[in-house]
Structure 1
Amino acid sequence: MKPATLAVHAGAAAAVPGEPVLSPLVPATSFHAHPDAIGFSANDLTSAAPHFYARWSNPTAELLEARLAALDGGEAALSFASGMAAVSGLFLHLLQSGDHLVLSEVCYAGVAELAHDILPRYGIAVTAIDSSDLAAVAAAIRPETRLVHIETPANPILRLADIAAIAEIAHARGAALSVDSTMATPVATRPLDLGADFVVHSLTKYACGHGDALGGAVIGRAAAIADLRKFAGIHFGATISPFAAWLILRGLETLPARMALHQANAAAVVAFLNTHPRVARVWWPGSADHPQAELARRQMRNFSGMVAFSAAAGAALSRQIADRVKLFSYAVSLGKTRSLIFYIPTDDLLRSSFHLEGAAAQAYRAATGNGTFRLSIGLEDPEDLIADLAQALA
């Protein structure tokens, strides 16, 4: 089945007369059990075990996981209460004291802070690198490197990483590769097909699409996901709620159609921003002048609705935009039906999240200036969005 069909039908039971067409929400936390079918401890959990307790599994979450695995071309998936829960669970499952993590230096701020501020407390060393530089990736890997984690496109400047090339580098040195593909979604990129071991999504974003549910997921091989379920899914307790899973399932059904419209609207907004006198630089993977345009065309089937731009009067302009926008919401997050805009000061990001210094900090500042405006282009009419930006920037 093609992605648009998988998004609606994957994992669903065969049609039965009298049963609802819409997959039902099952909010139960406990299920009827039998001593021959399951043990009291999660350590006894097998792939054939029935539903027993919702922290272990739930029918609604199970359907969500089956659909996510199908969309990303994986054998299995594990859902979490948020994208950060998914990343934290994966990191703490794969890494222990004495291990080493190689991380994209530009990535979601929460992941950067987890890596730089928390993992070292547990004896896990972290090296942040420009993951668009294959030589830097290779040079960072040590004998004790267990995981390379990249984000593509990377938040907030939409830097790309060559998944297939990095997978080859990591595997040759005995390390696993995980890819945060939240901004791309499986509509654009399927990292597992390119050699990644795990793909991570914040389901809160495009997968849900409506801004009304938190969720996260890790997709990979069945045995690896089963191990992750026992270690992090059950014992960390960051289980997705059945209602959130049900809302995200609803969102997934329109994901391919929405991504096509997000991309088309983003292209129109980018064309406007490229000619605006107050805009210094625009980033969007679909642009011919994106520094990695060739990789974008090779690796992405959809260029997403995420756009970033810089302006000379960043901080002052951000206040003006926040006061003036009528259709755009001045808000964080991304991937919603409504368009969002938010200003991210370079100094704040370098200091609090990325911890970049020296040449790396200079390179980031050279690209972004004093800050980055991150836009999540929604599903409104692009002419209306452009008119709103025009009056806000005037």
Structure 2
Amino acid sequence: MGRDLADMGFSTIAVHGGVSLDPSTGAIGPHIATSTNFAAAYGSIGFSAEATVADEVPFAYAREGHPNAAQLEQKLALLDGAEAAVVFATGIAAISGLMTQVLSPGDHLLVSDVSYAGTAEFTRGLLAGMGIEVSVADMSDLDDVRAALRPNTRLIHAETPCNPVLKLVDIRALARVAHDHGAELCVDGTFATPAVTRPLLLGADYVVHSLTKYMGGHGDALGGAVLGRAEPMDRLRREVGVHLGGTLSAFNCWLILRGLETLPIRMAAYARGATQVARFLEDHPKVRSVRYPGLPSHPQYALAQRQMSGPSGMIAFTVADHERFGDGLKDQLRIFHFAASLGLSRSLILEARTEDLRRTTFKLDEAHLRRYREWAGDGFYRLSIGLEDPDDLCADLERALSAS
């Protein structure tokens, strides 16, 4: 399926990876294969679901795999420099699926002290309840990581940039720490995408993405993916993928395939717009601090320059009067939507109160709570910059800041 694109540029792979001309119609774009069943030669499939996931029977029942998923997985693998990919119905399905596959009762998971809320709540709730030991570390501090390792540490899970405070992780250095200890490293690359950072090429064992965000790009399709070496991806598909049934629908695969074609130019546009907005905020008298990897003021700017090909489109900032600014948002903003998620064509703003996150999501010990407050204070606002004119976005924020 698809042509040999391994030696071609990222934008070419984004357009052509995983798809080829339809042999019967000549269509240059993929069809949506809505069928749940696929006929096969007599005797080649049977009652077992797991047994039908084989090379000689590419598709038998859509829960085990279907043409649109296969196209998407091939494109994703090419973009991330992976041997293989497995797609799931959502980003958290991909994360929980990988952890369920890799970890057994008695194993230890070391997870970032600051992470996507779904990851934090799953690992410290349901996963811990299954007999997995879970603890946290500041993944930007290798000494803190080493101190948190245990003899039974099986997996380290990090994000870069991390959600929501945009702290970075040195992937290459963290991979060395993990591998020296006999553990594996998984990196959530949702905020960066392979257009900005490719963790597998820096030593990570797995990369996970919420395809719902930048990868799909239009806010109309849920999806997730795990990427890595072929053998563990095959096991992930045969065991967790088949038996937990977190299958990504054919239509959502098709929508995300469509979105990926413009990923390189969208990420460049997000970065241009976000850089202008971040500079505007940094110069504003009512803004106390701005966290954006594209600004020299970011504490890890040197790492961003070394590890990222661009700064992406996410910004975190604090204001002089948090309460007053928040109260006025609904009356002042004309373009930004107050909404969760990120990576869409529309710009979004979301409030992150430290006390709320400490109580409901992160539940950090005092030492890691102090580290979090160094970045977040008592609370901040997270921006996902879209594809609007940056001058209009700055004017929108100016109205809200002037009223605060």
- Which residue of 2 is the match for residue 334 of structure 1? 342
Given candidates 48, 51, 62, the residue that maps to 1:41 is 48
- Which residue of 2 is the match for residue 252 of structure 1? 260
Q: State yes or no: 1:275 paired with 2:280.
A: no
**Contact map agreement 2:21 2:29 (CA 8 A) in 1:** no
**Contact map agreement 1:158 1:283 (CA 8 A) in 2:** yes
Per-residue CA deviation, residues 210-261 of structure 1 (Å, 9 max, x unaligned), is: 0000000001111110100112111111110111110000000000000000
**Contact map agreement 1:37 1:50 (CA 8 A) in 2:** no
Question: Whole-Å Cα distance in 2 between the matches of residues 50 and 6 of structure 1?
Answer: 23
**Contact map agreement 1:306 1:375 (CA 8 A) in 2:** yes
- Which residue of 2 is the match for residue 215 of structure 1? 223
Question: Whole-Å Cα distance in 2 between the matches of residues 66 and 16 of structure 1?
Answer: 18
Question: Whole-Å Cα distance in 2 between the matches of residues 146 and 47 of structure 1?
Answer: 30
Question: Whole-Å Cα distance in 2 between the matches of residues 48 and 316 of structure 1?
Answer: 63
- Which residue of 2 is the match for residue 153 of structure 1? 161
Q: State yes or no: 1:236 paired with 2:244.
A: yes
Farther-moved stretch of structure 1 (168-177 vs 249-258): 168-177
Given candidates 115, 121, 133, the residue that maps to 1:113 is 121
Question: Whole-Å Cα distance in 2 between the matches of residues 237 and 16 of structure 1?
Answer: 30
- Which residue of 1 is the match for residue 4 of structure 2? none
**Contact map agreement 2:21 2:28 (CA 8 A) in 1:** no
Given candidates 16, 28, 34, the residue that maps to 1:9 is 16
Question: Whole-Å Cα distance in 2 between the matches of residues 307 and 35 of structure 1?
Answer: 56
Question: Whole-Å Cα distance in 2 between the matches of residues 234 and 323 of structure 1?
Answer: 48
What are the ranges of 5 or more consecutive residues in structure 2 without an aligned counterpart?
1-7
Divergent runs of 4+, >3 A: 14-18
How far apart are 1:370 and its partner, in Å?
A: 1.9
Farther-moved stretch of structure 1 (320-329 vs 267-276): 320-329
Given candidates 59, 62, 66, the residue that maps to 2:67 is 59
Question: Whole-Å Cα distance in 1 between the matches of residues 323 and 46 of structure 2?
Answer: 58
Q: State yes or no: 1:137 paired with 2:148.
A: no
**Contact map agreement 2:19 2:29 (CA 8 A) in 1:** no
Question: Whole-Å Cα distance in 1 between the matches of residues 293 and 44 of structure 2?
Answer: 50
Question: Whole-Å Cα distance in 2 between the matches of residues 40 and 390 of structure 1?
Answer: 63
Q: State yes or no: 1:325 paired with 2:333.
A: yes
- Which residue of 2 is the match for residue 308 of structure 1? 316
Farther-moved stretch of structure 1 (357-366 vs 70-79): 357-366
**Identity of matched residues, %:** 51
**Contact map agreement 2:325 2:401 (CA 8 A) in 1:** yes
Question: Whole-Å Cα distance in 1 between the matches of residues 91 and 56 of structure 2?
Answer: 27
Question: Whole-Å Cα distance in 2 between the matches of residues 290 and 345 of structure 1?
Answer: 21
- Which residue of 2 is the match for residue 23 of structure 1? 30
Question: Whole-Å Cα distance in 2 between the matches of residues 15 and 302 of structure 1?
Answer: 35
Given candidates 58, 78, 87, the residue that maps to 1:70 is 78
Q: State yes or no: 1:50 paired with 2:55.
A: no
Q: State yes or no: 1:284 paired with 2:292.
A: yes
How far apart are 1:43 and its partner, in Å?
A: 2.8
Q: State yes or no: 1:169 paired with 2:145.
A: no
Question: Whole-Å Cα distance in 1 between the matches of residues 372 and 180 of structure 2?
Answer: 29
- Written as runs of structure 1 = structure 2, the 5 A alignment for 1:193-212 is 193-212=201-220
The one-letter amino acid of 1:198's match is Y
Q: State yes or no: 1:392 paired with 2:397.
A: no
Q: How many residues align?
A: 394
Per-residue CA deviation, residues 182-224 of structure 1 (Å, 9 max, x unaligned), is: 0000000110001111100000000010000000000111111
Question: Whole-Å Cα distance in 1 between the matches of residues 224 and 16 of structure 2?
Answer: 20
How far apart are 1:17 and its partner, in Å?
A: 7.9
**Contact map agreement 1:152 1:179 (CA 8 A) in 2:** yes
Per-residue CA deviation, residues 320-363 of structure 1 (Å, 9 max, x unaligned), is: 11332111111110000000001111101111111112122122
- Written as runs of structure 1 = structure 2, the 5 A alignment for 1:77-88 is 77-88=85-96
Question: Whole-Å Cα distance in 2 between the matches of residues 123 and 16 of structure 1?
Answer: 50
Question: Whole-Å Cα distance in 1 between the matches of residues 376 and 210 of structure 2?
Answer: 25
Q: Secondary structure at the match of 2:77?
A: helix
How far apart are 1:41 and its partner, in Å?
A: 1.1
Given candidates 246, 250, 274, the residue that maps to 1:266 is 274
Change (3 A) 1:312 1:191: same
TM-score by length of 2: 0.95
Q: Secondary structure at the match of 1:258?
A: helix
User: For the aligned residues, what is the CA RMSD?
Assistant: 1.2
Question: Whole-Å Cα distance in 1 between the matches of residues 55 and 360 of structure 2?
Answer: 42
The one-letter amino acid of 2:45's match is I
What are the ranges of 5 or more consecutive residues in structure 1 without an aligned counterpart?
none
Question: Whole-Å Cα distance in 2 between the matches of residues 172 and 42 of structure 1?
Answer: 38
**Contact map agreement 2:267 2:312 (CA 8 A) in 1:** yes
**Contact map agreement 2:108 2:155 (CA 8 A) in 1:** yes
